[in-house]
Structure 1
């Protein structure tokens, strides 16, 4: 699709960050997406946590 001189009609939905815990370094962090990695050690060994705010 080419859109020279015209705008795209894109609807952006909000993403809610979820809480994760790294299985390698035990870092707890918030992330979004399907392939979440730990921001500290860059491991993909992360587990979704259930945390109340």
Structure 2
């Protein structure tokens, strides 16, 4: 499946360089991967790397 500009759920292995983020809108804490990280709960791009 090809996605263009859309986020999708991925089960990240321990080997992938994920970073910890917090959403500035809903305060959800999550791990992200890539350049255009979105909150998985509210889909906001207003996130901060912890």
TM range (shorter): 0.5 to 0.7
Is 1:41–2:42 an aligned residue pair? yes
**What TM-score, normalized by structure 1, do the two folds share?**
0.64
RMSD: 1.0
Residue 15 (structure 1) aligns with = 16
Report the Cα distance in structure 1 between the residues aligned to 2:36 and 2:16, rounded to whole angstroms: 14
**4+ runs of 1 displaced by more than 6 Å?**
none
How many residues are matched? 36
Q: What is the CA-CA distance between 1:15 and the residue it aligns to?
A: 3.3
